[in-house]
Structure 1
Amino acid sequence: MSSSQGEFPSAEDYGRSLKGFGVNLLVRDVLRAVDFARDILQAETVTADKDFAVLRHRVNGQILAEWMLHADGTYHSNPLLGLLPENGPRGAGAELRLYHLDPDAAVARAKKREDVVLMEPADKPHGMREAYILDPDGYCWVVSLPLPKKG
Protein backbone atom coordinates (compact mmCIF):
# COMPACT_ATOMS: atom_id res chain seq x y z
CA MET A 1 0.00 0.00 0.00
CA SER A 2 1.14 3.51 -0.66
CA SER A 3 0.86 6.14 2.02
CA SER A 4 1.31 9.88 2.19
CA GLN A 5 2.11 9.72 5.90
CA GLY A 6 4.78 6.99 6.09
CA GLU A 7 3.95 3.34 6.73
CA PHE A 8 0.25 2.55 7.08
CA PRO A 9 -0.60 0.35 10.08
CA SER A 10 -1.73 -3.26 9.73
CA ALA A 11 -5.44 -3.87 9.10
CA GLU A 12 -5.82 -5.07 12.69
CA ASP A 13 -4.09 -2.02 14.17
CA TYR A 14 -5.99 0.39 11.92
CA GLY A 15 -9.30 -1.29 12.76
CA ARG A 16 -8.62 -1.02 16.49
CA SER A 17 -7.79 2.67 16.12
CA LEU A 18 -11.17 3.66 14.64
CA LYS A 19 -13.55 5.68 16.83
CA GLY A 20 -16.82 7.54 16.53
CA PHE A 21 -18.62 7.36 13.19
CA GLY A 22 -17.12 5.79 10.09
CA VAL A 23 -17.93 5.78 6.39
CA ASN A 24 -16.90 2.98 4.07
CA LEU A 25 -17.87 3.11 0.41
CA LEU A 26 -17.93 0.03 -1.80
CA VAL A 27 -16.63 1.08 -5.20
CA ARG A 28 -16.07 -0.67 -8.52
CA ASP A 29 -12.58 0.84 -8.98
CA VAL A 30 -10.75 2.10 -5.89
CA LEU A 31 -8.08 4.05 -7.75
CA ARG A 32 -10.68 5.82 -9.91
CA ALA A 33 -12.58 6.77 -6.74
CA VAL A 34 -9.32 8.02 -5.17
CA ASP A 35 -8.72 10.21 -8.24
CA PHE A 36 -12.20 11.78 -7.81
CA ALA A 37 -11.61 12.37 -4.09
CA ARG A 38 -8.22 13.94 -4.75
CA ASP A 39 -9.22 16.02 -7.78
CA ILE A 40 -12.70 17.19 -6.77
CA LEU A 41 -12.81 16.93 -2.97
CA GLN A 42 -9.14 17.88 -2.48
CA ALA A 43 -8.81 14.84 -0.20
CA GLU A 44 -5.50 13.57 1.12
CA THR A 45 -4.70 9.97 0.23
CA VAL A 46 -3.50 8.26 3.40
CA THR A 47 -3.13 4.91 1.68
CA ALA A 48 -4.44 3.42 -1.56
CA ASP A 49 -4.16 0.32 -3.69
CA LYS A 50 -6.52 -1.51 -6.05
CA ASP A 51 -8.55 -2.97 -3.15
CA PHE A 52 -8.57 -0.39 -0.35
CA ALA A 53 -8.00 3.29 0.38
CA VAL A 54 -8.19 5.70 3.29
CA LEU A 55 -8.86 9.35 2.49
CA ARG A 56 -8.86 12.47 4.67
CA HIS A 57 -10.20 15.99 4.46
CA ARG A 58 -8.13 18.57 6.35
CA VAL A 59 -8.69 22.25 6.97
CA ASN A 60 -5.80 24.25 8.43
CA GLY A 61 -4.02 21.01 9.32
CA GLN A 62 -6.97 19.60 11.28
CA ILE A 63 -8.53 16.33 10.13
CA LEU A 64 -12.25 17.00 9.68
CA ALA A 65 -13.19 13.75 7.94
CA GLU A 66 -11.73 10.35 7.18
CA TRP A 67 -13.35 7.65 5.07
CA MET A 68 -12.51 4.32 3.49
CA LEU A 69 -13.02 2.82 0.05
CA HIS A 70 -13.20 -0.92 -0.53
CA ALA A 71 -13.30 -2.72 -3.87
CA ASP A 72 -16.26 -5.05 -4.35
CA GLY A 73 -13.96 -8.09 -4.33
CA THR A 74 -12.86 -7.39 -0.76
CA TYR A 75 -16.46 -7.89 0.39
CA HIS A 76 -16.72 -11.54 -0.72
CA SER A 77 -18.32 -12.65 2.57
CA ASN A 78 -20.13 -9.42 3.48
CA PRO A 79 -23.96 -9.49 3.21
CA LEU A 80 -24.03 -5.93 1.80
CA LEU A 81 -22.45 -7.03 -1.48
CA GLY A 82 -25.60 -8.88 -2.53
CA LEU A 83 -27.63 -5.66 -2.25
CA LEU A 84 -25.50 -3.61 -4.64
CA PRO A 85 -26.75 -2.96 -8.16
CA GLU A 86 -24.57 -4.38 -10.92
CA ASN A 87 -24.96 -1.16 -12.91
CA GLY A 88 -26.01 2.37 -12.18
CA PRO A 89 -25.47 4.57 -9.15
CA ARG A 90 -24.92 3.02 -5.75
CA GLY A 91 -25.55 5.88 -3.36
CA ALA A 92 -29.21 6.70 -4.03
CA GLY A 93 -30.78 8.29 -0.97
CA ALA A 94 -27.53 9.09 0.83
CA GLU A 95 -25.68 12.40 0.94
CA LEU A 96 -22.00 12.43 1.85
CA ARG A 97 -21.40 15.93 3.20
CA LEU A 98 -17.94 17.43 3.19
CA TYR A 99 -17.88 20.74 5.04
CA HIS A 100 -15.43 23.60 4.56
CA LEU A 101 -14.75 22.89 0.90
CA ASP A 102 -15.47 25.62 -1.63
CA PRO A 103 -18.45 24.38 -3.69
CA ASP A 104 -17.79 26.78 -6.58
CA ALA A 105 -14.22 25.53 -6.96
CA ALA A 106 -15.27 21.88 -6.55
CA VAL A 107 -17.92 22.24 -9.27
CA ALA A 108 -15.40 23.89 -11.59
CA ARG A 109 -13.04 20.93 -11.07
CA ALA A 110 -15.89 18.45 -11.58
CA LYS A 111 -16.98 20.08 -14.83
CA LYS A 112 -13.40 20.03 -16.10
CA ARG A 113 -13.33 16.26 -15.52
CA GLU A 114 -16.88 15.90 -16.88
CA ASP A 115 -18.24 14.55 -13.60
CA VAL A 116 -21.98 14.90 -12.96
CA VAL A 117 -23.02 18.06 -11.12
CA LEU A 118 -26.50 17.44 -9.71
CA MET A 119 -26.89 20.93 -8.29
CA GLU A 120 -24.85 24.04 -9.01
CA PRO A 121 -23.54 26.00 -6.01
CA ALA A 122 -26.34 27.81 -4.22
CA ASP A 123 -26.83 29.75 -0.99
CA LYS A 124 -29.19 27.80 1.29
CA PRO A 125 -31.43 29.06 4.09
CA HIS A 126 -29.57 26.89 6.62
CA GLY A 127 -26.51 29.13 6.30
CA MET A 128 -24.44 27.16 3.82
CA ARG A 129 -23.38 27.57 0.19
CA GLU A 130 -23.41 24.06 -1.23
CA ALA A 131 -23.29 22.00 -4.41
CA TYR A 132 -24.12 18.37 -5.20
CA ILE A 133 -21.64 16.28 -7.23
CA LEU A 134 -21.82 12.59 -8.14
CA ASP A 135 -18.66 10.51 -7.94
CA PRO A 136 -17.96 7.79 -10.53
CA ASP A 137 -19.91 5.20 -8.50
CA GLY A 138 -22.96 7.45 -8.12
CA TYR A 139 -22.39 8.54 -4.52
CA CYS A 140 -23.63 12.08 -3.95
CA TRP A 141 -21.09 14.41 -2.37
CA VAL A 142 -22.45 17.67 -0.98
CA VAL A 143 -19.61 20.16 -0.59
CA SER A 144 -20.19 23.37 1.31
CA LEU A 145 -18.91 26.48 3.02
CA PRO A 146 -20.69 28.46 5.70
CA LEU A 147 -22.21 31.74 4.53
CA PRO A 148 -21.17 34.96 6.29
CA LYS A 149 -23.53 36.02 9.07
CA LYS A 150 -26.07 38.60 8.03
CA GLY A 151 -25.92 42.07 9.57
Structure 2
Amino acid sequence: MKLRKTDPWKPASDYSRELSGLTVNLLVNNISKASEFITNVIEANIIYQDIDFAAIEGFGSKWCFHADHTYYKHPLTSFINKKQKRGNGIELRLLGCNPDKAEMRAKKYGFKVISKSQDKPHGLRECYIIDNFGYCWVPCEKI
Protein backbone atom coordinates (compact mmCIF):
# COMPACT_ATOMS: atom_id res chain seq x y z
CA MET A 1 0.00 0.00 0.00
CA LYS A 2 1.40 3.37 -0.94
CA LEU A 3 1.41 6.12 1.68
CA ARG A 4 2.27 8.97 -0.69
CA LYS A 5 -0.63 11.46 -0.84
CA THR A 6 0.52 13.29 -3.98
CA ASP A 7 1.46 12.28 -7.49
CA PRO A 8 5.08 11.12 -7.91
CA TRP A 9 7.49 13.13 -10.00
CA LYS A 10 6.68 10.93 -13.00
CA PRO A 11 4.65 7.80 -13.73
CA ALA A 12 6.43 4.56 -12.82
CA SER A 13 6.06 3.34 -16.40
CA ASP A 14 7.95 6.40 -17.70
CA TYR A 15 10.76 5.89 -15.19
CA SER A 16 11.01 2.18 -16.01
CA ARG A 17 11.52 2.98 -19.68
CA GLU A 18 14.60 5.06 -18.71
CA LEU A 19 16.31 2.10 -17.06
CA SER A 20 18.67 -0.32 -18.77
CA GLY A 21 21.02 -3.16 -17.92
CA LEU A 22 20.99 -4.49 -14.39
CA THR A 23 18.75 -2.50 -12.07
CA VAL A 24 18.41 -2.99 -8.34
CA ASN A 25 15.39 -2.42 -6.10
CA LEU A 26 16.33 -2.46 -2.44
CA LEU A 27 13.57 -2.99 0.10
CA VAL A 28 13.95 -0.79 3.18
CA ASN A 29 11.71 0.02 6.10
CA ASN A 30 12.65 3.71 6.09
CA ILE A 31 13.30 5.60 2.86
CA SER A 32 14.77 8.63 4.67
CA LYS A 33 17.38 6.58 6.54
CA ALA A 34 18.35 4.73 3.37
CA SER A 35 18.66 8.01 1.48
CA GLU A 36 20.81 9.57 4.20
CA PHE A 37 23.33 6.73 3.83
CA ILE A 38 23.35 7.05 0.04
CA THR A 39 23.90 10.81 0.07
CA ASN A 40 26.22 11.10 3.09
CA VAL A 41 28.43 8.03 2.64
CA ILE A 42 28.16 6.93 -0.99
CA GLU A 43 27.58 10.45 -2.36
CA ALA A 44 25.10 9.31 -5.00
CA ASN A 45 22.27 11.58 -6.12
CA ILE A 46 18.68 11.22 -5.01
CA ILE A 47 16.67 12.02 -8.14
CA TYR A 48 13.33 11.67 -6.40
CA GLN A 49 12.21 10.67 -2.93
CA ASP A 50 8.96 10.30 -1.05
CA ILE A 51 7.75 8.08 1.79
CA ASP A 52 7.30 5.10 -0.56
CA PHE A 53 10.16 5.29 -3.04
CA ALA A 54 13.51 6.83 -3.92
CA ALA A 55 15.23 6.93 -7.30
CA ILE A 56 19.03 7.14 -7.12
CA GLU A 57 21.74 7.80 -9.69
CA GLY A 58 25.45 7.48 -9.24
CA PHE A 59 28.58 6.05 -10.80
CA GLY A 60 26.88 5.40 -14.12
CA SER A 61 23.98 3.46 -12.59
CA LYS A 62 20.41 3.97 -11.46
CA TRP A 63 18.77 2.10 -8.61
CA CYS A 64 15.77 2.40 -6.31
CA PHE A 65 14.64 2.06 -2.74
CA HIS A 66 11.12 0.78 -2.13
CA ALA A 67 9.54 0.95 1.32
CA ASP A 68 8.42 -2.40 2.69
CA HIS A 69 4.80 -1.23 2.80
CA THR A 70 4.76 -0.79 -1.00
CA TYR A 71 5.37 -4.53 -1.44
CA TYR A 72 2.24 -5.63 0.42
CA LYS A 73 1.00 -7.76 -2.52
CA HIS A 74 4.45 -8.63 -3.89
CA PRO A 75 5.77 -12.23 -3.89
CA LEU A 76 8.79 -11.16 -1.78
CA THR A 77 6.57 -10.11 1.12
CA SER A 78 6.77 -13.56 2.73
CA PHE A 79 10.59 -13.37 2.68
CA ILE A 80 10.86 -10.01 4.43
CA ASN A 81 11.69 -10.42 8.10
CA LYS A 82 11.52 -6.97 9.61
CA LYS A 83 13.59 -8.03 12.64
CA GLN A 84 16.61 -9.23 10.69
CA LYS A 85 19.10 -7.32 8.58
CA ARG A 86 18.78 -7.70 4.84
CA GLY A 87 21.20 -8.24 2.05
CA ASN A 88 23.02 -11.27 3.39
CA GLY A 89 25.34 -12.53 0.71
CA ILE A 90 25.07 -9.62 -1.71
CA GLU A 91 27.70 -6.97 -2.44
CA LEU A 92 26.52 -3.73 -4.00
CA ARG A 93 29.66 -2.61 -5.82
CA LEU A 94 30.05 1.01 -6.88
CA LEU A 95 32.94 1.24 -9.29
CA GLY A 96 34.21 4.81 -9.31
CA CYS A 97 33.25 5.58 -5.70
CA ASN A 98 36.45 6.41 -3.81
CA PRO A 99 36.69 3.73 -1.08
CA ASP A 100 38.98 5.72 1.21
CA LYS A 101 36.63 8.71 1.26
CA ALA A 102 33.52 6.52 1.59
CA GLU A 103 35.14 4.67 4.51
CA MET A 104 35.92 7.98 6.22
CA ARG A 105 32.32 9.19 5.74
CA ALA A 106 30.91 5.86 6.95
CA LYS A 107 32.88 6.13 10.18
CA LYS A 108 31.84 9.78 10.57
CA TYR A 109 28.14 8.84 10.31
CA GLY A 110 28.43 5.73 12.48
CA PHE A 111 28.11 3.00 9.86
CA LYS A 112 29.95 -0.30 10.23
CA VAL A 113 33.05 -0.75 8.07
CA ILE A 114 33.67 -4.50 7.91
CA SER A 115 36.76 -4.25 5.71
CA LYS A 116 38.93 -1.17 5.51
CA SER A 117 40.05 0.25 2.16
CA GLN A 118 42.76 -1.86 0.62
CA ASP A 119 44.19 -2.85 -2.74
CA LYS A 120 43.01 -6.30 -3.80
CA PRO A 121 44.71 -8.77 -6.15
CA HIS A 122 41.80 -8.51 -8.62
CA GLY A 123 42.84 -4.93 -9.44
CA LEU A 124 40.48 -2.90 -7.28
CA ARG A 125 40.89 -0.78 -4.19
CA GLU A 126 37.78 -1.36 -2.09
CA CYS A 127 36.18 -1.29 1.32
CA TYR A 128 33.04 -2.92 2.70
CA ILE A 129 30.39 -0.87 4.51
CA ILE A 130 27.13 -2.11 6.05
CA ASP A 131 24.16 0.28 5.91
CA ASN A 132 21.20 0.57 8.31
CA PHE A 133 19.46 -2.40 6.70
CA GLY A 134 22.34 -4.86 6.43
CA TYR A 135 23.16 -4.22 2.78
CA CYS A 136 26.87 -4.43 2.02
CA TRP A 137 28.10 -1.52 -0.11
CA VAL A 138 31.52 -1.84 -1.74
CA PRO A 139 32.90 1.49 -2.96
CA CYS A 140 35.77 0.61 -5.30
CA GLU A 141 38.17 2.04 -7.84
CA LYS A 142 40.48 0.46 -10.37
CA ILE A 143 44.16 0.47 -9.37
Quote the residue 1:82 is aligned against: 78
Deviation readout 1:61-104 (Å, 9 max, x if unpaired): xxx11100000000010011210222121000011000111111
- What RMSD over aligned residues (CA atoms) do the two structures have, in Å? 1.4
**Is 1:119 the equivalent of 2:115?**
yes
Asked if 1 retains the 8 angstrom alpha-carbon contact of 2:19 and 2:62, the reply is no
Quote the residue 1:50 is aligned against: 51
Deviation readout 1:9-66 (Å, 9 max, x if unpaired): 21121123332211000001011100100000101010001110001114xxxxx111
One-letter amino acid of the structure 1 residue matched with residue 9 of structure 2? F
Quote the residue 2:61 is aligned against: 65
- TM-score by length of structure 1 reads 0.86
C-alpha distance in 1, partners of 2:105/2:55?
Answer: 21
Quote the residue 2:93 is aligned against: 97
**Is 1:106 the equivalent of 2:102?**
yes
Secondary structure of the 1:86 match is coil
C-alpha distance in 2, partners of 1:71/1:28?
Answer: 5
Secondary structure of the 1:131 match is strand
Quote the residue 2:25 is aligned against: 24
- TM-score by length of structure 2 reads 0.91
Deviation readout 1:104-140 (Å, 9 max, x if unpaired): 1101100011101111001100111000001111000
The percent of aligned pairs where both chains have the same amino acid is 41
Deviates more, 1:34-43 or 1:18-27: 18-27
One-letter amino acid of the structure 1 residue matched with residue 123 of structure 2? G
* Matched pairs, number: 137
